[in-house]
Structure 1
């Protein structure tokens, strides 16, 4: 490994109610691949956004090529040679490969764009990376793997000296990953420094030189990859105190009725042969790292995304769920992780949102029975302790935790017996979290059954009766809460199976 090219020292960053980065250190050297690891929410992406000017740091120093710097935006960072290859591809499908590579900085002949020159320069880039892609091909015609290669080529075209890979292999096949690794090895030989953000332990051992671990917005330490084990990294990632007491045993009887049975569910690459059962009065936790396929499984079950195959049984009866309305008719409610996009209409009132999934029950002919709507909404505001001046308040004016309660009220109004909670406490404060936890426990005590998808280990261990663990679109394990430990879950969450 070469000399130090980039140092971040004591980086601090806070958002309202969240201390996202707490005096974090990072050191990157020329010609190395540095893994940046940590659980979801550890602060990895926030740190990289501070580096590249997306966020302004509160304190700390960034030293790049021997000089203290602070980039105002990503363009400044790119011009200096620091570029991010994002997990979400930023290419425009209707343009050619070359046009995508040089968008915003096109070669021109007079006032016209010089496509011939761009094609020539694109070919030089691909030759440099030993990649065989036609610069004149329309981007949408390429595989995801080839599109990823174009993203890397685009980064190199900025004369990059530091390239940040943010979960670059999430959508790639094994052969495409190996192609990407060849490019990374070639970039190392050219003394380019790389930061590699990934949850895939096997990749980390193959392609990186050192591993820096973050936890809860803090720097934990840095290890030499060849001298550490997977267990060493996991212990650093999860070795924090659990502030909430984890559940030690389930109160749900082993012979409790199975209310939902899913067999061999398949829905694209992210849902592969997933089977599980949900019992009456149970909270079934779904754990896994980013890209594990948990949300995709829930959406396929709910009919929000098409499934390729698999059987679903409700209370022992096989059902057909082709769309969300089918799921709702089967008594399933889905609280999306993106509540503002899929759960509520923020410019409507609490009352209107509460009755949204059950509108036919509130109609008098072609008119809405406003008194009935108000009475039901008021009942749930009181039952869920929703903080609001009244049910005519617009949802946009509520806090995140109270917005979540409105989504829950919507599905309780529908009388859903099976509730899917996808990241139920994301973006809400600690006090609101505890209220949601109490509410979930009350619902299962009343006979409801809950599937809870969560990226927070403490939440999984505190709330679940059983835990399904996923990795790379597959179920890699199932644990009773009595045998669940952080390390056990993390090992399953990073275990790729055939």
Structure 2
């Protein structure tokens, strides 16, 4: 059942940009291996080579001591290697079952065996804790549910080697715990698991050993129990990483309210929500998946219907029918779905950056020089790692796409900023950069709202945190009351 892998001198470049430099190491069979590195370190590219999505420019891949070259991901799947993508790889217009069996359909004679596929899909969904009708269209799922569908789909392939790229990025603690139990059972059955994650507490908890890459090169490996989280972080970034969270800037006495919501209701998702955020405040939203946090803010910026409620910016009541209207009123919202709603990944970096404020660069024709200067400044300010600023957004690593999305949504210079899962899929060094950026924005007098599934993130960043449960705002906790235990208790109704 187990499968052994060896990379020998693997090199890969995209155009003039080299992302892998002679990578050599092996993965022992039947173990859970933590695979670490900053965004742009080459982790995902190397795993795409292993899973047949990319081919190396040089070097060899050995599977069970035999040189292999996969022409496609299906070729790799036939060898027992399956990749669960960080960026969801699902067809929104198809059902869960259709997505799970796409290209692997079961047949009864000349016809598709719909019943067997539906039963197998239901069993796999149950295994990962997603209790949805297998006939549900994927477009009707929230991001966390789509992530669970990806994991369930991989289970159906009966992989000998399973690559998990940020699988818990959108999952709640209970869903994450269920996934860890599933991983343990797979390991006991002989499956090798490569676990890519920037959540070092999870790596410490579930892996047997850690392999670290930096700048497209293999730099270290060690048994997990011989490394502290701090040592893992230092190996990833090549320097000492400390003070993840900046000191919270004190709120000025009597700071005016920048953003206020009264009695907001979103059909099927939220009811009677009210809160206010002051200038210079970082205000967090916690809750389990399905609590209605994302849907509430999508309604507040005009992405879905708001059936009742009042929204005020700087004391003036506003009616926002679209994100563009929200932006014009000084409010921007960065979606947790950076690929679907944050960026146009097939467009150039500068086109993504300036899209929301194109009128600034039209005189009347687009000033390409000004656009290039804006991109150069964003690359420096946000630490976007790219060897070539002329590439398309899809060629950036996931974390660097997130930085570009942040730059894009801050380009209009908003007074109120809503960040939904702002560090999803972002490495420890970049997380720290984003945390300091958030506090810089607050120190400039802006109101910053952070929706996050990482409780430590909310505790470290926020002056206050609101907790939603089942569509209701059930508690708002100040800094003196912010603990993981209290937040979980309110989110689950066990306080």
Root-mean-square deviation (CA, aligned residues, Å) is: 6.0
Superposition deviation, residue 387 in structure 1: 2.9
SS in 1 for 2:362: helix
Q: Is the 8 A contact 2:34 2:210 kept in 1?
A: yes
Q: Within 5 A, what are the aligned runs for 1:1-20?
A: 5-20=4-19
- Between 334-343 and 169-178, the greater mean CA deviation after superposition: 334-343
Separation in structure 1 between the aligned mates of residue 132 and residue 334 of structure 2, nearest angstrom: 43
Superposition deviation, residue 187 in structure 1: 0.8
| Aligned match of 2:157 | 158
CA shift digits 1:303-338 (9 cap, x unpaired): 557899999775565756553244244245789975
SS in 2 for 1:35: strand
SS in 2 for 1:477: helix
Structure 2 residue 214 is matched with structure 1 residue 215? yes
Structure 2 residue 239 is matched with structure 1 residue 229? no
CA shift digits 1:208-261 (9 cap, x unpaired): 11122223333231232223222121222233499xxxxx99xxxx99x97956
| Aligned match of 2:453 | 472
Q: Is the 8 A contact 2:5 2:62 kept in 1?
A: yes
Separation in structure 2 between the aligned mates of residue 274 and residue 430 of structure 1, nearest angstrom: 43
Superposition deviation, residue 162 in structure 1: 0.4
Q: Within 5 A, what are the aligned runs for 1:61-76?
A: 61-76=60-75
Aligned CA distance change for structure 1 residues 216 and 466 (closer, same or farther; 3 Å): farther
Q: Is the 8 A contact 1:91 1:139 kept in 2?
A: no
| Aligned match of 2:203 | 204
Q: Which runs of 5+ in 1 are unaligned?
A: 243-247, 357-375, 389-397, 409-420, 434-439, 480-494
Q: Is the 8 A contact 2:124 2:153 kept in 1?
A: no
CA shift digits 1:263-318 (9 cap, x unpaired): 9999999xx99987666xxxx9x9xxxx9xxx999978865578999997755657
SS in 2 for 1:182: helix
Superposition deviation, residue 13 in structure 1: 1.8
| Aligned match of 1:90 | 90
Superposition deviation, residue 345 in structure 1: 13
| Aligned match of 1:138 | 135
| Aligned match of 2:53 | 54
Aligned CA distance change for structure 1 residues 49 and 299 (closer, same or farther; 3 Å): farther
Superposition deviation, residue 165 in structure 1: 1.1
Superposition deviation, residue 79 in structure 1: 0.9
| Aligned match of 2:179 | 180
Superposition deviation, residue 44 in structure 1: 1.9
Q: Is the 8 A contact 1:35 1:196 kept in 2?
A: yes
| Aligned match of 1:486 | none
SS in 2 for 1:10: strand
Separation in structure 2 between the aligned mates of residue 172 and residue 351 of structure 1, nearest angstrom: 31
Aligned CA distance change for structure 1 residues 147 and 179 (closer, same or farther; 3 Å): farther
- Given candidates 359, 372, 377, the residue that maps to 2:362 is 377
Separation in structure 1 between the aligned mates of residue 162 and residue 233 of structure 2, nearest angstrom: 25
Separation in structure 1 between the aligned mates of residue 56 and residue 118 of structure 2, nearest angstrom: 39
Superposition deviation, residue 186 in structure 1: 1.1
- Given candidates 359, 369, 392, the residue that maps to 1:387 is 369
Q: Is the 8 A contact 1:92 1:139 kept in 2?
A: no
**Count of aligned positions:** 407
| Aligned match of 2:29 | 30
Separation in structure 1 between the aligned mates of residue 334 and residue 348 of structure 2, nearest angstrom: 10
Output the TM-score relative to the length of structure 1.
0.59
Aligned CA distance change for structure 1 residues 220 and 301 (closer, same or farther; 3 Å): farther
**Greater radius of gyration (CA):** 1
SS in 2 for 1:188: helix
SS in 2 for 1:160: coil
SS in 1 for 2:23: strand
Aligned CA distance change for structure 1 residues 191 and 235 (closer, same or farther; 3 Å): same
Separation in structure 2 between the aligned mates of residue 149 and residue 9 of structure 1, nearest angstrom: 33
Aligned CA distance change for structure 1 residues 154 and 351 (closer, same or farther; 3 Å): closer
Q: Is the 8 A contact 2:349 2:375 kept in 1?
A: no
Superposition deviation, residue 378 in structure 1: 3.4
Aligned CA distance change for structure 1 residues 70 and 136 (closer, same or farther; 3 Å): same
| Aligned match of 1:418 | none
Superposition deviation, residue 83 in structure 1: 0.4
Aligned CA distance change for structure 1 residues 476 and 320 (closer, same or farther; 3 Å): farther
Q: Is the 8 A contact 1:54 1:74 kept in 2?
A: yes
Superposition deviation, residue 8 in structure 1: 1.7
Q: Is the 8 A contact 2:9 2:58 kept in 1?
A: yes
Aligned CA distance change for structure 1 residues 316 and 102 (closer, same or farther; 3 Å): closer
- Between 100-109 and 189-198, the greater mean CA deviation after superposition: 100-109
| Aligned match of 2:492 | none
Superposition deviation, residue 340 in structure 1: 4.4
Superposition deviation, residue 64 in structure 1: 0.9
Aligned CA distance change for structure 1 residues 299 and 108 (closer, same or farther; 3 Å): closer
Separation in structure 2 between the aligned mates of residue 308 and residue 404 of structure 1, nearest angstrom: 42
Superposition deviation, residue 74 in structure 1: 0.6
Q: Within 5 A, what are the aligned runs for 1:302-321?
A: 314=313, 321=320
Separation in structure 2 between the aligned mates of residue 329 and residue 208 of structure 1, nearest angstrom: 47
Separation in structure 1 between the aligned mates of residue 375 and residue 145 of structure 2, nearest angstrom: 41
SS in 2 for 1:387: helix
Separation in structure 2 between the aligned mates of residue 428 and residue 298 of structure 1, nearest angstrom: 32
Q: Is the 8 A contact 1:340 1:346 kept in 2?
A: no
CA shift digits 1:392-440 (9 cap, x unpaired): xxxxxx87x67899xx9xxxxxxxxxxxx9997758667899xxxxxx9
- Between 35-44 and 338-347, the greater mean CA deviation after superposition: 338-347
Q: Within 5 A, what are the aligned runs for 1:340-351?
A: 340=344
| Aligned match of 1:167 | 166
